[in-house]
Amino acid sequence: MANSRPLRPAPDDAFPTATSRLQAETEAVLLDHIPTQASAETTQAPAKLHKSAHIQFLARNFIQGFPAKYTSQDASQPWLMFWTLQSFSVLQVGLDPGNKQRAIDTILTWQHPDGGFGGGPGQGAHLLATYASVCALSIAGGPGEKGGWDQIDRKKMYQFFMSLKQPDGSFLVAHHAEVDVRGIYCLLVTATLLDIITPELVEGTASFIASCQTYEGGFSSASQPYYSSVPYTPESLLSSPRPPLGEAHGGYTFCALASWVLLQPFLDLSPRERPQINTKSLLRWLVQMQGSPAEIGGFRGRANKLVDGCYSWWVGGAFGLLEALGVSAAVGPVSPGGGGGVEMSGEEGEGREDGKHGEDEHEWDDVDGPPFLPSTILADLAHKIDVADSFFNREALQEYILFAGQHPTGGLRDKPPKQASPFSGISIV
């Protein structure tokens, strides 16, 4: 039961600072969301994901439209589409043929004449929007004249990708835009799905990813290249210094690690020495992101920051990726399930424990929203993810989501008392 563990507040060593004060406030709020022994005994019901309320929350926005406050997502329309479709898919809700065709037609209006997809009609092509559009098509679309999948211009997509490439192996997320590992992850997944990934496209990219690992073990958003006298060519790139810009972060760590997994077949093509990452320090950092019993075992995204529902996906998912690289927990019982007093069963009784798809970001809510692995790529990692869960406390994380992450009127959220959002929903499911 949730309350059988001791709820020791995070120790502040009688040396309070802004960080420890905010932490204490958050723990106090979370405490109200843990059922007491008495209430658990009287209700006898296991904790549930309120499935039908969540579906209504999603369908309302999808069919009727999003209210004006979603104007902030105007440049992320593919994400709204993708999150909703993916949530329906995970919750096993089908789309009728008419709405399916509308979805395909809507997505195709975002394709840019020079390749890639933008955040809406007439918007510039962007790696994150491209990823979300292609993934959305992989759910709603199919082959054929009106299926959407064959209407993706693969040749121009490749040209668009190459036009974003930097001498240090990284990619801009759009023309005149920033470099970061989210975009690289989106590019690699898209290129893999569309079968346009080539050694030319990814030359130097693995080295760039490796350079983003920080001394803490997780990964940052990007690294800064230094060049010798002939600037801005791959040949003049110095292997050191090549510092990460920004600290280790759950969202970027997921993107970097997933990129690293996708780049495995290309590692030997590196022009210089084979790039490496430190999986030992990475594993250590990942497990340290899980909060204490007083935080109901939720995940945080950086050291000394607050737990947040979205990192269930980002950090939780990273364990599965590590497993794909051969870092195996393989101690004790492989499947920790049961015994937690928590069942993931929806009201329809068909909920599944292994629904690891989804993503979101909240604390990581900066803009275009977070990517996640589409089910097609996730499929061959799926069995490994179950095994990998033995690295962290899975029952505790479920409790965080079910007790703290569900909004009473439907939808999922970062933490109480915040509002629900489609991003939280998808990540947490």
Residues 6+ positions from 269 with CB-CB distance below 8 Å: 199, 202, 203
d(CA 240, CA 219): 17
Q: Residue 384: what are its φ and ψ, rounded to 5°? A: -70, -35
Dihedral of the CA atoms 18, 24, 25, 28 (nearest 10)?
180
Number of amino acids touching other proteins (CB under 8 A):
91
Cβ atoms of residues 148 and 108 within 8 Å: yes
Do 309 and 30 meet the contact criterion of CB atoms below 8 Å apart?
no
**Judged by CB, which is closer to other proteins: 197, or 277?**
277
Cβ neighbours of residue 147 closer than 8 Å, sequence gap 6 or more: 104, 141
Residues 132-171 that bind other proteins (CB under 8 A): none
Site string for other proteins, 353-392 (x = CB under 8 A): ------------xxxx---------------------xxx
Determine which residue in the list 2, 55, 134, 174 makes contact with other proteins, applying CB under 8 A.
174
Of the two residues 262 and 296, which places its CB atom closer to other proteins in the complex?
296
Per CB under 8 A, the list member of 24, 31, 201, 287 interacting with other proteins is 287
Q: Using CB under 8 A, pick the residue from 3, 19, 236, 279 that binds other proteins.
A: 19
Least Å distance between CB 269 and other proteins? Answer: 27
Residue from 116, 244, 250, 411 binding other proteins (CB under 8 A): 244
Dihedral sign from CA coordinates of 345, 347, 349, 355: negative
DSSP 81-101: HHHHHHHHHHTT----HHHHH
Question: Could you tell me which residues are beta bridge partners of residue 63?
Answer: none
230 makes contact with other proteins (CB under 8 A): no
Judged by beta carbon, residue 92 or residue 101, the one nearer other proteins is 101
Q: How far is the CB of 426 from other proteins (least distance, A)?
A: 13
Residue 244: half-sphere exposure toward Cβ, Cα within 13 Å = 21
Kindly identify the residues of this chain, within the stretch 41-100, that bind other proteins according to CB under 8 A.
61-63, 65-68, 70-77, 80-81, 84, 99
CB contact set of 411 (below 8 Å; sequence gap of 6+): 53, 54, 57, 419, 420, 421, 422, 424, 425
Least distance (Å) between residue 84 CB and other proteins: 6
Site membership for other proteins, residue 5 (CB under 8 A): yes
Nearer to other proteins among residue 199 and residue 231 (C-beta): 231
For residue 259, the minimal CB distance to other proteins (Å) is: 18
Long-range contacts of 329-332 (CB under 8 A, 24+ apart): 329/387, 329/388, 329/390, 329/391, 330/387, 330/390, 331/390, 332/390
Question: One symbol per residue from 332 to 351: x for binding other proteins (CB under 8 A), - otherwise; what is it?
Answer: x---x---------------
The contact mask relative to other proteins for 291-330 (x = CB under 8 A, - = no) is xxx---x----xxxx-----------------------xx
Site string for other proteins, 245-284 (x = CB under 8 A): xxxxx-------------------------------x-x-
